[in-house]
Structure 1
């Protein structure tokens, strides 16, 4: 559904994106993460046809990203999305429906359904009198007015309160369940971890790692085993009436079991804890820093 090949964007002598290559399957949720200035927004704008690549190519829904026909299949949400503040949500969304040649009856049904799902009640209030969260919901509704196959969202919950943020993330999940192909960036890695099938990690204009979360965790993360015993074993700490020791391999787990049995006890529980996406990201960034300094 989306394919980027050796995407590069230069501004003078500065390369904002360097040779990015990735593909997103139909119905997949693909996250692009990285620090500020990593090249995330530039990449998304090239996919959306808003920036012309210096080199490389991108296709979306079978069209070249710069083909105007592609826009009919795409819903794009920029990080900053100013609205026409003198309009109401209804007039604003009807205006964009007209731009996409969506029949009024179809548009009104689609607007009503989308705003209901987004829990936006104030449909005749001027946009200038609305909160940032309400405006963001209207901007999301605008991205759906043409019933696109592909959604490209740049920080969809940027700067919103936690309640609105969670609501928008849940709405994005529902869009994925409906079969939409979604590419989005986000600073909150917990949200990326909860919704994405795969992620690409960018740093200084390059994709430094990509894959599904399990694969990234195996390559860049750490796994710890918290072994709870009924008796004290070496290097354990007392916790809630038991003893806990943290080890990093199944061989070490077996050694703890043997030590517990030798002391007249047993293993009561074993809990596995893996690195979060944030920890994986930090490990990837640190690995890249070491390579650049070598």
Structure 2
């Protein structure tokens, strides 16, 4: 549903995006992360047809990203999304449905369904009275009034309380399960890790790492094992009446198992510690 090939964006003598390529399929959530200035925002804006690429090709649902017809198949949630304070959620969303030429009956059905799924009950109060979490829910609903096949969400849960954040993350998963193609960008890497099928980490306008979370961890992360024994072995340290040794391979685990048996004991627990996405992010970006 999204195809990006050799995408570049230059601002004068500064290259913000430098030859990135990726595809995102239906029902997939693709995470785009990176430090400030890495090129994320420029990439997202080019995807949405808001910024013209300096080079490369973008197609969204078979349309060139610069084609105005493409925007009818896309829903965009920017990081900052001010609403019309004097309007209610229903009137605000109907206004945007009219811009997409959605008939009133269909618009009303979509609006109520989206607000139901987002647990927003206050539908006839001015949005100027809403909390940040409530306004964010309205903005997410706005991205769906045209029933787009592709969604681009930039920091959808930024600054929200844990309960509202969980609602937004779960809703994103539901949209993917419905077959939507989603590009998801966030600074909170736990959100990315919990919802994305694949992730690209940007650095200096390029992809420093890309793939499934498992692929990225395999290539850039580290795995260690904490082996707990009921007898003391070499390099072990006491731990709540047991002994724990940290090693980097299963061969080392087997060696500890043998050493414990020789000492008249055994292994009572093994715990695996893997790099988180944040660990990998810090490593590959040098942050």
Which TM-score band (shorter chain)? over 0.9
Residue in 2 that maps onto 1:37: 37
Secondary structure of 1:243's partner?
A: strand
Which structure 1 residue ranges, 5 or more long, are not aligned? Answer: 290-294
Alpha-carbon RMSD across the aligned residues, in angstroms, is 1.2
When the two structures are aligned, how many residues end up with a matched partner?
287
> Which stretch of structure 1 is more off in the superposition, 162-171 or 273-282?
162-171
Secondary structure of 2:82's partner?
A: coil
Shift of residue 106 of structure 1? Answer: 1.0
Q: Distance in 1 between matches of 2:159 and 2:40?
A: 17
Residue in 1 that maps onto 2:178: 178
- TM-score (normalised: structure 1): 0.95
Which structure 2 residue ranges, 5 or more long, are not aligned? Answer: none
Residue in 1 that maps onto 2:215: 215
For residues 109-140 of structure 1, give each alpha carbon's deviation from its aligned partner in whole angstroms, at most 9, with x where no partner exists: 11111101111111111111111111110000
Q: Distance in 1 between matches of 2:139 and 2:191?
A: 20
Q: Distance in 2 between matches of 1:103 and 1:38?
A: 41
For residues 178-235 of structure 1, give each alpha carbon's deviation from its aligned partner in whole angstroms, at most 9, with x where no partner exists: 1111101001111111111100000122111111111110110001111111111111
Contact 2:184 2:196 in 1 (8 A): no
Q: Distance in 2 between matches of 1:37 and 1:165?
A: 25
Q: Distance in 1 between matches of 2:145 and 2:240?
A: 55
Secondary structure of 1:145's partner?
A: coil
Q: Distance in 2 between matches of 1:79 and 1:145?
A: 19
Shift of residue 240 of structure 1? Answer: 3.0
Residue in 2 that maps onto 1:292: none
Equivalence map 1:140-289=2 (5 Å)? 140-286=140-286
The reply on whether 1:124 has 2:124 as its aligned counterpart is: yes
Q: Distance in 1 between matches of 2:270 and 2:131?
A: 47
Q: Distance in 1 between matches of 2:161 and 2:12?
A: 38
Q: Which 4+ runs in 1 deviate beyond 3 A?
A: none
Shift of residue 102 of structure 1? Answer: 1.0
